[in-house]
Structure 1
Amino acid sequence: MTRAMRTSPTLGLFPLHSVLLPGATLSLRVFERRYLDLVSECTRESRGFGVCLILIGDEVGVPATPAKFGTQARIEDFSTGEDGLLHLRIRGGRRFRVDTTHVRDNGLLLADVDWCEFDSDDELRPEHATMGLILERILEQVGGEYANPPPARMDEASWVGWRLAELLPLQESQRQALLQMDDPHARLDWMLRWIS
């Protein structure tokens, strides 16, 4: 299929040594021209960009090799830090699978992506009730934007799973494995085994 015939969107990628999960936030410092251009385009066109875990390479310099799954990021806030660099706060949205990649002249990695299905809004299953209690305890300690979530969120398998994946002390490779799972109950099963 030629690029002109594709219906999948093309996203500029911001490969990182961190996994951005749906609903989670990350702070970025942007200084490379390719990423400043990407942020400018996304702001001008009111769209997001893709964040993928780096499998091979670094966050600066030569384009890195990204994981096959990533998360669309939306810019929530930006400022210029004391270091003179652009500081962004981004939030994860929809998951995607990278189909093909190519590199723009300025070194920006572009990906043709296929969107993953949205998570179902299934309720927590009885076998995952412990996971909800663990999340409640964590949220009591960390507070912040997740303090006092509505009860409906605490009963939602997908939301509980993503927040645990975000807040538990997991390795980035473990978060990536969770990001690649389509079933919110399977994510909770995996984390329950890990905690046990």
Structure 2
Amino acid sequence: MVKEACGGSGRFVLCMLNSRGDQQKNEHIFPIGTLCRIVDFDLLEDGLLGIKVEGEYCVRVSEVTTEPDGLRVGVCDPIEDWNAEVEEGDIEPLRDKLQIIYDKYPEIARLYPELKFSEPLWVIYRWLELLPVDAANKQAFLNEHNCKKVLDYINELVR
């Protein structure tokens, strides 16, 4: 996959796995993934390749097939971001607590080239990454047309 990505655009799609899906039919791959760009790579001490990627945007993956070498390929269509009409009172507590976490655990903050606490969607996506929300629920949230349900859910958990 890395060879294919580096030989082309340097991009690939990363999807969550569905433990209930049939692997032979490629149903073990959830349909919403993230288009990622390889930004750096290095040979690690254990001889494995370490890859640093940056997520660009969400895509819906369909028509997944498996090539003879095991590489899975599919048709990917961009998904528009959620409608981001977020009340300041709904996002402010999440923003403040996320900043506290990043201050306490700078190794998490270093995962991002830029911390965008002023952008509500960025804050919501970071909480979805941090919280122990199973992949099926994350997929349901990502399938929504706006961020209202996920915002309410995260606010309940964080409070």
CA distance in 2, matches of 1:86, 1:102: 25
Instruction: Tell me which residue corresponds to 2:36.
Output: 73
- How far did 1:178 drift? 3.7
1:171 aligned partner, one-letter code? V
- How far did 1:159 drift? 0.9
2:35 matched to 1:107?
Answer: no
Q: Is the 8 A contact 2:83 2:145 kept in 1?
A: no
The change in CA–CA distance for 1:125 and 1:186 in structure 2 (over 3 A counts) is farther
- Of all paired residues, the percent bearing the same amino acid is 25
Q: Is the 8 A contact 2:26 2:65 kept in 1?
A: no
**Relative contact order higher in (CA < 8 Å, ≥ 6 apart):** 1
2:31 matched to 1:42?
Answer: no
Q: Which runs of 5+ in 1 are unaligned?
A: 1-37
Q: Is the 8 A contact 1:122 1:158 kept in 2?
A: no
- How far did 1:66 drift? 0.2
> Per-residue CA shift, 1:121-163, capped at 9, x if unaligned?
656532332111211211211124737x66xx32321011112
Instruction: Tell me which residue corresponds to 1:35.
Output: none
CA distance in 1, matches of 2:151, 2:119: 11
Q: Any idea what SS the aligned residue of 1:133 has?
A: helix
- How far did 1:71 drift? 0.7
TM-score (norm 2): 0.78
Instruction: Tell me which residue corresponds to 1:184.
Output: 147
CA distance in 2, matches of 1:124, 1:79: 42
The change in CA–CA distance for 1:101 and 1:63 in structure 2 (over 3 A counts) is closer
Q: Which runs of 5+ in 2 are unaligned?
A: none
TM-score (norm 1): 0.65
